[in-house]
Structure formats: C-alpha cells, structure tokens
Amino acid sequence: MFLNSIKWGGVNTFSQQGSILLRISLLSFFLGPKALGDYALAATMFGAFSIFVELGLKQLYVAGQLDINDVSQEIVTSTTWWLNIICRILVVFVVFVVWFIVFLFNLDLKWLSMTLFLSFNIFISALSNPVFLMYERQGDFKNQAILTLSSELIAILFFLIFLYWKFGVWGLILSQLIAAAAFSIFSYLFFPFKKCFYFNGEVAKVALNQGKNFIKISGATFTTYSFDKLIIGFFVSREALSFYYLAQKVCEIPAQFLTLVVNRALLPFLKKQYENKTHAQVFSFLISKLKILFILTLFFSFFIFLFNYFLNLKDWKYVVNLIPWVLIGVILRCMTQFLGSLFILNGRISTDADYKLQEAVIYILLIPIFSWFLGVYGVLTIFIFIYMFTFYRRYLYIKGV
C-alpha cells in the first residue's frame, strides 16, 4: 500500500509541478526570464495573505488529530471540508479588500491583481469532492493522480492558446484557474459524491485550537520560505527576482518528491507505526536515507556548477548559476518539513511552532544584512544556514522522543 501511494503520489505531484514548470519555462523562453518578476512577487504576497487561515486541516485530518470518540468519521470529514472552504473564502476576502483599497487610490500594482486571481485558484480547488479527503487519509492517491494529470493537460492546452494570443504572464495565471476548475468539476462527474452536509462544533473547535499552532508554523515558514523573495523583489531588483524564482521552480521539482509524495504517503503509514509502537526503527531508516539524499544533492549541485562554467548560456546563465545553491537550500527545507510531520504524529505541534518562530526571528534579522552586502547570494547564504540549523535541531529533538 505504501509503495502504491508513493507511485501515484509521484504521478500526482509531477503532473502538477511538471505542468507549472513547463508553462513557466515556455513563458520564459518566449518572453525571457525577466518576465516572471511580477508573477513571482504576486505568488509571494499570496503566500503572505494565506498565513492567517492556514490551519493545517488536511494534515490534522489525515493524522487523526481531529477524531473524537463519539463523532463519526463522516461528520469529521464533512466538517474538515467546510472549514477548508471557509478558510479559502477568508483569503479571497482579505486579498480583495487590499486590492480594492489600492484601486481606490489609483495605484498601478500589477502584481496585486495577479495575487487576487491566485486566491480564486485555491478557493476553486477547495470545492472539489470531499471524497478525496478520505482517499488521502487511506493513502490512496490513484484517483487524485489521474484527475490531476487530466486537468493539467487541459491547462497546458489553454496556456498554449493564451501564449499564441500573447496574454503573457496572465496566460499562466488563467491556465492555473482552468486546472483548478477542471479538477473540481471532474471530481464530481467521475467519482462518488461524499455527503458533506454536516458541521460539528466540537471537531471545529479542536481544529481551530490545533490550527493556532499551524498559523504560527505557516507564518514562520513564510518568513524562511518567502521573505527572501520579498527582499530580492523590493530591495535588489525585479529582474534578479525573476532569475531567483525560476531557479527555485526548477529545484522544487525533485525536492517536492520528498514533501509532496513521500511525506504524504508516509503520514498514514507512520500513523499506524506509532500506534503499534514500532516507529523508532522506521525513523532511523528514514534519517539514514535523508543523509544519503543530502550527499547526492551536493554532488548534483557541483555538477550543475561545472556545466554552467563550461557553457555560454547567455541570459539563462544567471538562472543556472543560482540553481546549485538554491537546490541545497530547497532540499534542506524539504528535509525539515519532513521532520515536521513527525512532530504532528507525536502531538508536539506547539513545540515545532515555537522552534519556527525563533528561527524566523533570526532569519529576519540576518537576511537584510547579508543581502545588502552580497545581494542574491547573501540571501542564499542565510537560506542554507537557517535550514541546516532547523533540520539538525529537529533531528535531535525527535531522536530523543
């Protein structure tokens, strides 16, 4: 079951992330890497607006943290689905209010309009059939993978049409909306409808109580994941942000196999191991594999560095120059996120949240100084340092639990 989850989880993730990378690459190829500056800033600001409603509902649901003895699984699933929709509505509302205020003052902020459309995307996704929540809890990603692949192929087709019509970056955003809409519609057309007419106050109370820690984690994660792009976008240059964002997207394809595939597939599996008290052996095995992964990342980064050194890639050399360093930081971040799932299973979400807040403060203090002296590479230095520190800190803690 676990290997099957890995297989279909991989199809699901690479269908989505590969499609996004393909569209971004095509856009960059025809318009140049510099064209992504506004979109990168919009995506970053969208992450900032999302912090205050990111309650980690899906992770809590899959890990069984929302289960209450006298409440049926059907009611827990339905309540989780409704809470997720409410959270997404709040994101759209907050972004719309900010956009409307800017509109009243006649300020021309193209990236803010993009942020508003990106918020519609996650709301549409939240409307998909609640049966997929149950599939994920069971570690069954096959149906979701097939649906994601289908919707992303449709999105690519529309993106090519938008690219031909010279929609520019807006073609990328609209294709994302189309992918989300296709997924939601198909989820009801081709899969059994899961009743979602229940809302339990006790389950919601548990979710909100646990979710407060996730808001802390999300805020701190945004700081260590996206504050770098804000610094580059506002204080270095929009052009540098384009190169940096594209390098990150390239690196996230292999890196997200760990967080969006292995991690998601492991959560239901590890839940059973914790219940059977056999998780210590599994933890030791996984840590050994993470060490091997990091060593392979270093070798691969060195290879990319040599590749770029001996070839003349013109404008793209700035992107490829950043990839070795971005890849190391992204892999370290994914390894840290992986350990975060173990904190959830151990019921130590508050500890993880406190750790992240402390680390975020250090990051905020150091990154402006290093970016002032070293520019983008100063940002990367702190990015790598903070995740080396956070991973080792969590490793020592979980090892002792």
Confidence category of residue 185, pLDDT binned at 50, 70, 90: very high
Mean pLDDT taken over the chain: 78
Predicted pLDDT at 6 = 61
What does pTM read for this prediction?
0.73
5-14, 222-231, 271-280 — which is least confidently predicted? 271-280
| Among candidate residues 261, 258, 333, the one with its CA nearest the CA of residue 13 | 261
- The pLDDT of residue 95 is above 70: yes
Predicted pLDDT at 197 = 76
| Among candidate residues 333, 326, 330, the one with its CA nearest the CA of residue 304 | 326
CB 349 within 8 A of CB 270: no
Predicted pLDDT at 353 = 77
Segment 243-285, tens digit of pLDDT: 888 788 777 766 665 565 555 566 566 666 665 655 566 666 6
- Residue bearing the bigger pLDDT, 32 or 244: 244
Mean pLDDT within 314-334: 78
| Among candidate residues 84, 71, 37, the one with its CA nearest the CA of residue 242 | 37
Confidence category of residue 103, pLDDT binned at 50, 70, 90: confident
Mean pLDDT within 136-158: 85
Mean pLDDT within 50-71: 71
- Best-predicted range by mean pLDDT among 21-35, 181-195, 197-211, 263-277? 181-195
Confidence category of residue 307, pLDDT binned at 50, 70, 90: low
What are the tokens at 106? Answer: 């006649």
- The pLDDT of residue 344 is above 80: no
Segment 357-381, tens digit of pLDDT: 888 888 888 888 888 888 888 888 8
The CA-based angle 157-122-145, given to 5 degrees, is: 55
Confidence category of residue 171, pLDDT binned at 50, 70, 90: very high
CB 319 within 8 A of CB 246: yes
Q: Kindly give the interhelix angle for 349-374 and 317-345, rounded to the nearest 10 degrees.
A: 160
- The pLDDT of residue 51 is above 70: no
